[in-house]
Amino acid sequence: MRAIIKKHLLVLFFLFILVAVTYANSLRNDFISDDIPAIVNNPIIKKFDYIFSNTFFFARSIPFFIIYKIVDSNPIGFRLFNIFFHLGTVFVIYFLSLITTKNRTVSLFASAIFAVHPLLTESVTWISGGVYSQYSFFLLLSFLFYVLSVEKQIRQDSFRNVSIFFYAASLISFLFSLSSSEKSLILPFILLFYEISFGDLKKRWKKLILYFSIAFMWFMIFLLLRLGERVTLLETAFYQENRFRLRNPFIQVPIVIVSYLQLIAFPAVLTFFHTDIHYTYVKYGVAIFIFILFLISIFYSWRKSKPVFFWLSYFIITLIPTLTPFRLSSFVAERYVYAGTAGICIAFVYFINTISQRRSYVVFIHFFMVIVLGLFLVRTYLRNIDWKDKEHLWLATVKTAPSSTIARQNLADVLARKGDYAGAERELRKAIELNPYYADGYHSLGILYRLTERNDQALRMFQKSLELNPNLWQAHVNISYIYSRQKNYEKALEHLKQAEKLAPESSSVHRNLGITYLNLGQKEKALEEFYKTLELNPNDQTAKDSINKLKLQN
């Protein structure tokens, strides 16, 4: 291994510089969206128990716990973690493309394009999206180790008698990939297609049995432990309508595949939520035509070009977890195609390189590749700015996805924090208009009314949000605030107790309980709640001051 790395050291250094330059302007970006509840406002991440919070998906929780202990809630440490996996994926893609295409030029340009591709920013720049670059790294590393374990020519050149070592390393990497994301279940099918394309399936099929067995067991674990969580999340957080109605695969698959191909080829319009994918009959007909051409290209390349056949097939395989007819994932999301983008990059560069050699267009094609690299790098640099903070992200997202209720709600929050209450109300009303079942929209509108002293309207909005989502404990807290302002402390206590049942680990709920008990003259219960608050959040100054006052009174 050391000899191979030394042989390609200059190329690896170039790829390192390319990734470093491309993502340098993202390092100081803030926590955004899911990052805030997962890291900033997550009291468990500070505790050792966080490591075991996801027993079968530990590859994310253990590093996050360690990073938090080192840098606290500084986003740079977490984002460097993402960039590290992206760089590792770029390196692995270089070696895999070198092995499958036998062409260093193809490997260099394919991995370089992948390194700077704008479509991948969601999986690199967005901290929570980093799970996709992480599982892809371990997935492709497992693939690489498998290839090194079975290809005799590779072993004779550099690694005599180490087949078992690489096979074991491949299995370990596969486990790390699975413990990052269940989407890694597709690895056995990638290996199967590799053997069909380049290997000897008749002799090596036994080696694949263990991969399929591990994948099957992990799939069962996912069904038992995570599928219910996912369905609950879609019901309570995203308020999906018709969630039990299956998607029509004849509509879904062609549109999704063509959408991803378009985003890979022309990543001009990138967005957090691809909610505005509307197809007329004519557009759908064009999508079907392109999709059929793509399938024909795969079948045609089976005889003409095995590298193209394999990497185009790989692209389809990586999308299978999100192409199911069940409404458990977004229709289109840029992070879903992180791993698959590598397949298109390699197949495209290999095809172009083959044409250029036949027609002596080598210089022209290389110049074209350099131009593509430059354009993609600039586009990624600009896209990183969209991820700078909440304001940049949600302004950019509403422009590109105007029908996204989540984007409009988050933009409303940004506008309200800037004092633009009229603008915030406009965005929230639009969100509710787009989705009348969007409980978070009613809840946010209630907060806005509360901030602008329209308490009767606020109370109606909070009650409406609880009708739609009884688990929205924050609505109970806000209702208790209104009742407290009205000095109706019994009603306030009633709602705070409901909030405590739903969110027993929330320090703010216990703090408010303490304050309410004080208002009711129940000092012992108040003291108990303030101590509980400090257990959950040792930095809560209100709880500290209240405890000191109560002690002085005693």
Q: What tens digit of pLDDT does each residue of 51-98 get? A: 877 767 788 888 998 999 898 889 999 999 999 999 999 999 999 999
Instruction: Say what the pLDDT of residue 232 is.
Output: 52
- CA-CA distance, 58 to 78, in Å (whole number)? 16
Instruction: Please list the alpha-helical segments (H only) found in 486-540.
Output: 489-502, 507-519, 523-536
Mean pLDDT of 1-25: 87
Whether the Cβ atoms of residue 93 and residue 8 lie closer than 8 Å to each other: no
Among the listed residues 258, 270, 262, 236, the one whose alpha carbon sits nearest the alpha carbon of residue 466: 236
Mean pLDDT of 35-40: 88
pLDDT tens column, 459-502 = 999 999 999 999 999 999 999 999 999 999 999 999 999 999 99
Mean pLDDT of 207-213: 95
Instruction: Label residue 157 by pLDDT band (50, 70, 90).
Output: very low
Instruction: Say what the pLDDT of residue 161 is.
Output: 64
**SS3 state of residue 301:** helix
- CA-CA distance, 335 to 356, in Å (whole number)? 32
Instruction: Say what the pLDDT of residue 105 is.
Output: 92
pLDDT tens column, 506-537 = 999 999 999 999 999 999 999 999 999 999 88
| DSSP state letter for 247 | P
Domain ranges for the chain, please list them.
Answer: 2-227+250-386, 404-470, 488-554
Instruction: Say what the pLDDT of residue 240 is.
Output: 43
Instruction: Say what the pLDDT of residue 160 is.
Output: 52
pLDDT tens column, 143-154 = 999 999 987 655
User: Given a cut of 80, is residue 439 above it in pLDDT?
Assistant: yes
Give exposure, 368-384, as e/b (b: 16+ Cβ within 10 Å).
Answer: ebeebbeebbebbbebb
User: Given a cut of 60, is residue 452 above it in pLDDT?
Assistant: yes
- CA-CA distance, 73 to 66, in Å (whole number)? 12
Total-model pTM: 0.88
Residues 6+ apart with CB under 8 A from 493: 480, 513, 516, 517, 520
Residue position matching structure tokens 């067991």:
217
Q: Is-same-fold flag (404-470; 488-554)?
A: yes
Residue position matching structure tokens 């209702």:
479
User: Given a cut of 80, is residue 184 above it in pLDDT?
Assistant: yes
Instruction: Say what the pLDDT of residue 268 is.
Output: 93
Instruction: Say what the pLDDT of residue 241 is.
Output: 46
User: Given a cut of 70, is residue 231 above it in pLDDT?
Assistant: no
- CA-CA distance, 308 to 261, in Å (whole number)? 15
- CA-CA distance, 81 to 78, in Å (whole number)? 5
DSSP assignment string, 28-60: TPPP-TTHIIIIIT-GGGGSGGGGGTTTT-HHH
Instruction: Please state which CATH class domain 404-470 belongs to.
Output: mainly alpha
- CA-CA distance, 462 to 478, in Å (whole number)? 7
- CA-CA distance, 397 to 273, in Å (whole number)? 7
Yes or no: domain 488-554 corresponds to CATH 1.25.40.10 = yes
Among the listed residues 343, 322, 93, the one whose alpha carbon sits nearest the alpha carbon of residue 197: 343
How far, in Å, are 132, 157, 238, 449, 515 from residue 114 at the CA level? 14, 28, 32, 47, 55
Instruction: Say what the pLDDT of residue 537 is.
Output: 85
Whether the Cβ atoms of residue 89 and residue 133 lie closer than 8 Å to each other: yes
Cα 17 to chain centroid distance, Å, stands at: 25
User: Given a cut of 50, is residue 243 above it in pLDDT?
Assistant: no
Instruction: Label residue 163 by pLDDT band (50, 70, 90).
Output: confident
Instruction: Say what the pLDDT of residue 329 is.
Output: 77
Instruction: Say what the pLDDT of residue 228 is.
Output: 54
Question: What number of other Cβ atoms are within 10 A of residue 196's Cβ?
Answer: 15
Choose between 246 and 31: higher pLDDT: 31
Instruction: Label residue 49 by pLDDT band (50, 70, 90).
Output: confident
